[in-house]
């Protein structure tokens, strides 16, 4: 299974007055605009026939919606397992329940870096990964998705994704 990890684009700063529930915090207009350009780079790297899964948080859903539009994918499926502050293990469980050969996960830090580290190095792995907002990574799992069972194919920051055609 190929798994593409996408960090949500730049969102508004936390503001308890505007968004008492942080899950409702949206992308900034500039964040959405930059991600639209970066999404073209992600599309250039996407395998055919992939499914798009997203955190239920507004900023991740908006990012997934932009990617779906640019890639001409179906609407993203919201998954509680991808919400902020989840344990990486929930991502492996989510992937094992999927039948597709290619899955795109749109989520948050630090979950994405923790999942990436565990996928590459096992359940106790801890790497410092600079996963930028709007950036993406590709993993290849041979067999069932499990900690330590992935190979990193690429990890690209948003400025590189924006330069791809």
Note the pLDDT of residue 4.
Answer: 98
Q: Where are the beta strands (DSSP E) in the chain?
A: 2-7, 51-54, 77-78, 102-107, 136-141, 150-156
Q: Is the residue at 62 inside a domain?
A: yes
Determine contact, residues 53/76, Cβ cutoff 8 Å: yes
We report the CATH number of the domain holding residue 84 as: 3.40.50.1240
Q: Is the residue at 16 inside a domain?
A: no
- Note down the domain range covering 95: 2-11+22-163
Q: Is the residue at 105 inside a domain?
A: yes
When divided into structural domains, the chain yields a total of 1
Which residues contact residue 63 at a Cβ distance below 8 angstroms, ignoring those fewer than 6 apart? 6, 8, 9, 27, 35, 54, 106, 134
Q: Is the residue at 17 inside a domain?
A: no
pLDDT band, residue 8 (cuts 50/70/90)? very high
Q: Is the residue at 83 inside a domain?
A: yes
Which residues contact residue 127 at a Cβ distance below 8 angstroms, ignoring those fewer than 6 apart? 113, 116, 117, 120, 121
Q: What is the pTM of this model?
A: 0.96
Note the pLDDT of residue 137.
Answer: 98
Nearest alpha-carbon partner for 71 in 98, 84, 88, 52: 52
Residue 165 has pLDDT above 80, yes or no: no
How much is the average pLDDT of 99-109? 96
């Amino acid at each position: 299974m190929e798994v593409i990890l996408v960090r949500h684009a730049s969102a508004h700063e936390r503001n308890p007055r505007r968004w008492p529930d942080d899950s409702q915090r949206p992308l900034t207009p500039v964040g959405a605009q930059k991600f639209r350009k970066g999404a073209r780079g992600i599309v250039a790297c996407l395998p055919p026939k992939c499914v798009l899964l997203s955190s239920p948080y507004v900023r991740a859903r908006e990012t997934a919606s932009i990617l779906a539009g640019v890639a001409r994918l179906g609407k993203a499926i919201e998954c509680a397992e991808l919400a902020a502050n989840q344990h990486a293990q929930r991502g492996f469980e989510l992937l094992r329940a999927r039948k597709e050969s290619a899955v795109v996960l749109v989520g948050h830090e630090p979950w994405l870096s923790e999942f990436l580290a565990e996928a590459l190095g096992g359940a106790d792995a801890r790497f410092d990964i600079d996963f930028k907002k709007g950036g993406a990574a590709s993993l290849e799992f041979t067999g069932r998705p499990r900690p330590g069972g992935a190979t990193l194919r690429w990890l690209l920051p948003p400025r590189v994704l924006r330069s791809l055609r």
